[in-house]
Amino acid sequence: MTVTIVGSQLGDEGKGGVVDLFGDAADVIARYQGGDNAGHTVVVGGDEYKLSLVPSGAVRGKTGVLGNGCVVNPETLFEEIDALRERGLDPDVRVARRAHVILPYHRVLDGIEEDVKSDADLDAGTTGRGIGPTYEDKAGRRGVRVGDLLDPEVLRERLEYAVPQKRALYEDVYGGDAGEEFDVDALFEQYRAYGERIRNEGMDVNAGDYLADRIDDGDTVMLEGAQGTSLDIDHGVYPYVTSSNPTAGYAATGTGLGPTTVGQGEVVGVVKAYLSRVGTGPLPTELTGDDEDLAEYIREEGGEYGTVTGRPRRVGWLDLPMLRHAARANGFTGLAINHLDVLAGLDEVKVGHAYELDGDTIYSMPATTERWGDCEPVFRTFDGWPEFDPEAVAAEGYEALPEQAREYVEYVESELDTAAYALGVGPGREETVVQQNPFEQ
Ligand code: GDP
Ligand code: IMO
Ligand code: MG
């Protein structure tokens, strides 16, 4: 069976920690979308690992697969693999030949287009990793795939078609001064060498076949989503989204496993007990104005600074319409509710239970972001819970959580009609109250 881990909000819900927690029971951990825009944190016994591209299961020595739905920056890939080796791990990472490659010009164009868009407030506050331009080229059928890096003749052909267009766009439309990022020969040499290393290390796979074979052999597969449902290009707050589909349906498309395989497994929605957002766009439950101090307090307690970019994250109360939307779009079979420790010590905790829009009360998200921005949250107020010792609570189990925190958890479970498999009370593997293991369903 498979277990798919999906962000239910705006990214950084603690997916890396959940993959690490339940990943022990998996043999293979595959990412199905996104690239090095992700920043997944795993904390084990005081050691912290931050991974942008390599699947989080590498920390447990599991095979990591980057599926065809991912966009791969080989430079990041090898930097991360080398850094993990330096820390004494032996990561086994496979890359789909069908996955698209992020080239240096994608990063340049990502930055410049964000600059131009910012004049019209349309910039998403991207991570600058070239994600959007790479997916654009994939859809435009002018991308370079991992398999092309392994075949110098094809690689040169692809670059000779794409690069002059990119150079013209950069110079003639944006008025830039193109350097080596737009030079066919320089790119060819650099990326051919990456291809050689991928081949020499036996990393390239036909991801769908590879994963299906492992399942046939009796192995278990975990599918690791990056970003979150409200950053999904179809189901998120367009255009302030990423350029891929973090939602669970893409776990099939982005790996080559069938939807029936993924659908027969478990889909765990990772929920942060409040909201945080690194990028731009509306955020109805955001803590602003008089609540700025509270936002600052939560930001400091929760370490709410971007894993990839270090930017301070915007902070808001939990948004239930956003979660109802995510539960439907992903078909969650279970939840992991994180960061309950961060809210400990507050007198009261609010949640946006519904929205008021044009005099109506609505319970899910409108389909356009402009309408979402018009929504006024209808808050429910919960009693706060006292500070507690996370490791002691994790060791003792659910009943050891303060009663008010349990009430909060049970409210979320009941609104989403989905049980929480895990409750995060700190960043570490040992700081989690485990209720059920999705691999043991
Ligand atoms: P991801 O992108 O969803 O994997 O999440 P990030 O790693 O970007 O951000 C989550 C941050 O919160 C990381 O620093 C985690 O170590 C940390 N974290 C995860 N779960 C918890 C939790 O339950 N409590 C606290 N305090 N921190 C957590
Ligand atoms: P993880 O996997 C939070 C946001 C960016 C921006 C938008 C588009 O760690 O949860 P992109 O670089 O993807 O084109 O940026 O998406 N974003 C994330 N926010 N967590 C992430 O990943 C994100 N990946 C992208 O801030 O608003
Ligand atoms: Mg992150």
- Read off the tokens for 147: 């398999």
In this structure, the dihedral spanned by the alpha carbons of residues 387, 392, 394 and 399, taken in order and rounded to 10 degrees, is -70
pLDDT given at position 149: 98
Q: How far apart are CA 352 and CA 87, in angstroms?
A: 43
pLDDT digits (tens, 9 = 90+) for 90-141: 999 999 999 999 999 999 999 999 999 999 889 989 999 999 999 999 999 9
State in Å: Cα 337 to ligand 1 middle: 11
427 lines ligand 1 (CB under 6 A): yes
Nearest CA to ligand 1 atom 2: 12
Ligand 3 centroid, distance to 38 Cα (angstroms): 5
Tokens of 409: 């958890």
Residue among 156, 136, 140 at smallest CA distance from 148: 156
> Which atom of ligand 2 lies nearest, measured to the CA of 281?
27
Q: What's the CA angle centered on 271, arms 262 and 240, to 5 degrees? A: 90
Residue 242 confidence (pLDDT)? 98
Active site residue 36: no
Pocket lining: 80 vs ligand 1, CB cutoff 6 Å: no
From the CB of 132, is ligand 1 less than 6 Å away? no
Q: How far apart are the first and last CA of the chain?
A: 10
Please indicate whether residue 226, judged by its CB atom, sits closer than 6 Å to ligand 2: yes
- Tokens 């099939």: give the residue: 252
Q: Which residues are CB-neighbours of 258 under 8 A, at least 6 positions away?
A: 252
> What is the CA(132)–ligand 2 centre distance, in A?
11
Q: Is there a catalytic annotation at residue 106? A: no
Q: Which ligand is nearest to the CA of 50?
A: 1
Q: How much is the pLDDT for 308?
A: 73
Which of 298, 225, 224 lies closest to 10 in space, CA to CA?
225
Does 8 contact ligand 2 (Cβ within 6 A)?
no
Residue to substitute in 36, 41, 301 for testing ligand 1 pocket (most ligand atoms within 8 angstroms of CB) = 41
Q: Is 369 helix (H, G, I), strand (E, B) or coil?
A: helix
Q: Half-sphere exposure (CA, 13 Å, Cβ side) for 40?
A: 31
If one residue of 127, 338, 423 were mutated to test the ligand 1 pocket, choosing by the most ligand atoms within 8 A of its CB, it would be 338
Chunked into runs of 10 residues, the chain (441 residues) has average pLDDT values of 97 97 97 97 94 96 98 98 97 98 98 92 93 98 98 98 98 96 98 98 98 97 98 97 98 98 97 93 95 96 86 95 98 98 98 98 97 98 98 97 98 98 96 96 76
Active-site residue among 20, 40, 106, 325? Answer: 40
pTM: 0.97
Specify the pairing of strand 275-277 against strand 92-96.
unpaired
Kindly give the distance from the C-alpha atom of residue 50 to the centroid of ligand 1, in angstroms, as a whole number.
10
Tokens representing residue 18 in the block:
């959940």
Ligand 2 centroid to 406 CA: how many Å? 30
> Residue 286: which residues within 8 A CB-CB, separation 6 or more?
275, 277, 295, 314, 315, 316
